[in-house]
Structure 1
Amino acid sequence: MVNLRNFDLNLLVIFRAIMARGSIAGAAEEIGLSPSAVSHALARLRVMLNDELFFRTADGVCPTDRARELSADIERGLGFISTAISLQHQFVPSEAKRVFTMQVADYVSGFLLPRLAERLQVEAPGVSFDILPFSISPESVWDRVDMQVRLTPGRLQPEMVRSQRLLADEIVVLMRRDHPRANDPMTAELYAELPHVKLSQSATGTTVIDDALAARGLERHMAMTVASWFEIPDIVAKSDLIAIAPRRLFSLDPRLRNLKASPLPLEEVVFSFDLCWDLRTEREPGQKWLRKVVSDVFKEIRT
């Protein structure tokens, strides 16, 4: 085991920067050192860890297998250290100058973001938000995102991700009112038989539906995949494709009122809106404040 008394933890910060930027020059720019200083630090780290860690390529550097293995643990450890230090500082919303990065599912954004903006312009005018798509690789998402608001989380990493149920909602199946099968009862068999349009995002919990269908020996036919929920109502209205949606969206999108809605015929499937965050930031004051704000907004929605 390495003796931490003789280990410079700044070397791990440099390691993380090289992993993130993929080059010595990029890492130097990120942490404010010269490229030669970063190269010297990497040489020390190679000796301490007895591995090359990175080898040069035409575009920069590429991590060794050992570096890839170490990366998650180093990122986790530095995250815990950063959180422990930040706990000494109080977060004052009215005085804060900070950017929070969130992923918000399309299904949720229509009623969450306007209320969030309204509240923050009064309570925390110096706070900004960067809303990212769910197309980010799951392996790197918690290096870039403070929290997620999503519809039914998938298989989370239990040791690193925490979640809170914000709101449960009924999921309905949408089709145009003059659909050839509009008068047929919506059964699991019919649901699987009809062609579907779905979101490409990974934040919709649709694997839960596929698992429920598979248990019945059924499989959906995905005729179209789109990038945004807001494209779906018009597609359903002009075709024989069907889709799913939370019933709560009917109060937000008038286009849905022209479609037929039937309960999803999979009784065991329960959908909810969930707030997810990284365990490393669970006690960080700014993150705790934001989680409470999001939770309060959903309490208002429920009432």
Structure 2
Amino acid sequence: MRFNNLDLNLLVALDALLSERSISRAAERVHLSQPAMSNALSRLREYFNDELLVQVGRKMEPTPRAEGLADAVRDVLVRVEATISTQPIFLPRESSRVFRLLVSDYTLSTLMPYALALIYEEAPAVRIELRAHVAHPARALERADADMLIIPSEYCSSEHPMEVVLEEEFCCVLWKDSPLARAPLTQETYLDAGHVVVLPGEGHPAMEDWFVPHLGVSRRVEVTTFSFATSAQLVVGTQRIATVHRRLAKRVQEYAPIVIRDVPFPMPVMQQTLQWHAHRTADPGLTWLRGLLKESVTRMDRQN
């Protein structure tokens, strides 16, 4: 099929080339031979009158023209997939569909065990791929690298629909044998203590970015980690404090020698949301999964 003299099959090849930046890997991705993918690149270069990908050392790098095309091409392909590939009905017990979710290790440790059990009850052949958060999560939706994001509301894109699935308080975690654990936790003792702090990664603000502008205070950071799930355990054997999600702290308290205290400052709750691509709102499989994730929150809170 052609549009403005462009063979639309070449858009699939272009998307693979811009994603993989390698002729051989792009060919593998779309099940073409390497000569066929090289031929596709030649035809694309001729159509756009641009090299699109140029060799820089051992890598192929996109030209400015190619970078400008990348998101538009991916959006077209996502629209086509959402329109013609999505089945009109979703039968959980008969489905073997793969769902790809971007989640934090907080979600992995708290919600996902309940969600996976419920998914297995209703759709035992459905497969779940749990992927780590990335710096710009909405791009994972737009490039079809993820079907759904489970992220705090402040990370959501305004371009796509979302709904709040749970609200989460923060609390303080201390080693149960620490002198801090034997006395009330005041603002003064909180600020005097050393802290274990999570730095989630590029593109995700740390909690420190909230403390200074909102409260005018800073904490003495003695340990940093990339993991929410382990931060509550890293206070054991020390007089440090970790400020963590309450559901996570309660889970860790089941097996680690810690105590939980209220944060001696007013802190906003975290709103954990589900977000999906705007073109896939009518996808019956994602509608089923959203409902199931909300039911999983109810089950989680009822059992804890």
TM-score by length of 2: 0.83
- Cα deviation, residue 233, structure 1: 3.1
Structure 2 residue identity aligned to 1:138: H
Query: 1:107·1:229 contact (CA, 8 Å) conserved in 2?
Result: yes
1-side partners of 2:202 and 2:95: how far apart?
Answer: 30
Tell me whether 1:23 sits opposite 2:22 in the alignment: yes
2-side partners of 1:10 and 1:195: how far apart?
Answer: 58
2-side partners of 1:284 and 1:241: how far apart?
Answer: 47
Query: 1:79·1:281 contact (CA, 8 Å) conserved in 2?
Result: no
Structure 2 residue identity aligned to 1:158: S
Secondary structure of 1:145's counterpart equals: coil
Q: Map residues 141-290 of structure 1 onto 2, 5 A cutoff.
A: 141-142=140-141, 143=143, 144-150=145-151, 152-159=152-159, 161-179=160-178, 181=180, 183=183, 185-187=185-187, 191-202=190-201, 207=206, 210-255=209-254, 258-267=257-266, 269-290=268-289
- CA deviation map 1:269-290 (0-9, x unaligned): 2213222323343332322221
Q: How many residues align?
A: 297
- Cα deviation, residue 128, structure 1: 1.3
Secondary structure of 1:154's counterpart equals: helix
Provide the identity percentage: 28
My pick for the range that moved more, 124-133 or 196-205, is 196-205
Structure 1 residue identity aligned to 2:29: E
Query: 1:55·1:63 contact (CA, 8 Å) conserved in 2?
Result: yes
My pick for the range that moved more, 36-45 or 172-181, is 172-181
2-side partners of 1:282 and 1:193: how far apart?
Answer: 49
Instruction: Identify unmatched segments of 5+ residues in structure 2.
Output: none
TM-score by length of 1: 0.84
Partner residue of 2:291? 292
> What is the CA RMSD across the aligned residues, in angstroms?
3.0
Instruction: Identify unmatched segments of 5+ residues in structure 1.
Output: none
- CA deviation map 1:213-232 (0-9, x unaligned): 22333333432222434433
Partner residue of 2:120? 121
Partner residue of 2:108? 109
Partner residue of 2:136? 138
Partner residue of 2:95? 96
2-side partners of 1:48 and 1:54: how far apart?
Answer: 14
